[in-house]
Amino acid sequence: MWTFILAWDLPSKGRGILMISPAVGTLSEHSHQAVRSYFERVGLLLTENPYAFWRRGFWTYGHWTRRDSELQKTLTRICSLLDEVLRRGADGALGASDQSRLQGLLELAPGSLTLDVALEFAAVLDQVIIESGDAQYICAEIDRELLWAKDSTTWLTWDRMYGTTIPDAVKTHNLGKSVPDVELRAARNRLLAFRRARTNDYEVHRARMKMRAKNLRVLAALLGPLILGFGWLLAAHQIGSDSASGVGLVAVVGALGSIMSGTIRARDKLVRGSDLRAFRNGLLAQILLGAGASLFLLLLLGSSILAIAGTNSLAGKAVFGFVAGFSEPFFLKTVERVAKLGEETTKGT
């Protein structure tokens, strides 16, 4: 078994010190040194001073991406799995094929790991450990999976895949008894199948989120010039306001409304990391939508198609511009009212 202590060394300019006490095991010397070295390098990345990029340069891409919270969580998971590898190696549970697979994984430089590569790294490492895992590890992992709340992880939970029945191996282990090999193999196979299914599900989810983020960036790039042109034309024709500054005020408060709405939503409703990442990817598009919604409301008020009390002054128009950016239901209901006016006119003719 290996024990380790991560210490924060302030005098050494924010570098982490990793102290490891080795134990004699059945890992080959080469594998032993490779796992130990990799464990230390990942540990140093995790204990890196978060403000070091000010010295290295804000533009340093590799350092900046390592500040990603999801990547740091995955690197922490890799550290935990490597510690389990050392424990299993000390118990003589890792065969030659397992050590060969580990050697292939450890050829990847920790500092170059992107989130996608780190997730795949952790998934393969997890598979190697489960295939050789003892009753203590397998049952502990299944117990952990049974505790996941549906709203805090992916839709694929243990009970959704296997129902609410607890595996016999877990029941036997929790009673403090020795787990029979048949029960342990069944639990191990279930855990392997579940982890593979959830990894595949998360890969599909991340691919969709990347496509969504790319589409949102394209839409934001299109919306920006269109909203600027829309605002300039409103000001040029003095629609809704007698001055360009008035049009700009309405657009700015609309964008402010959308930012405040997104902030409240992020604070109260977004829990999962993937939801927070999706929110960040769509933030610019949301701000532009708020500005565009407020400008469209200004056009409606200037056209006299729709009359709203209190909008004769610029301040009143700015207030409703904020509401249009803040509340998507308010804006959609306003557009729906205008559409119904068009339907009534068509029926009357």
Task: Tell me the pLDDT tens digit for each residue of 185-206.
Answer: 999 999 999 999 988 988 888 8
Q: Which two tokens stand for residue 8?
A: 């924060």
Which pTM value belongs to this model?
0.70
> What are the pLDDT digits (tens) for 281-299?
888 888 999 999 999 999 9
Q: Give the burial string for 115-143 (b: 16+ CB within 10 Å, else e).
A: beebbbbbbbbbebbbbbbebebbbebbe
Given a cut of 80, whether residue 50 has pLDDT beyond it is no
Higher pLDDT, 334 or 344: 334
pLDDT (0 to 100) of residue 250: 92
Bridge partners, 3 (sequence order):
21
Q: What is the DSSP letter of 26?
A: S
Q: What is the pLDDT of residues 243-292, one digit of tens each?
A: 889 999 999 999 999 999 988 888 887 777 767 777 788 888 889 999 99
The answer, yes or no, to whether residue 32 has pLDDT greater than 80, is: no
125 vs 118: CA distance, rounded Å? 10
| Per-residue pLDDT tens over the stretch 122-151 | 999 999 889 888 899 999 999 988 887 655
Percentage of the chain modeled with pLDDT above 70 = 79
Between 302 and 94, residue with greater pLDDT: 302
Sign (positive or negative) of CA dihedral 10, 12, 16, 22: negative
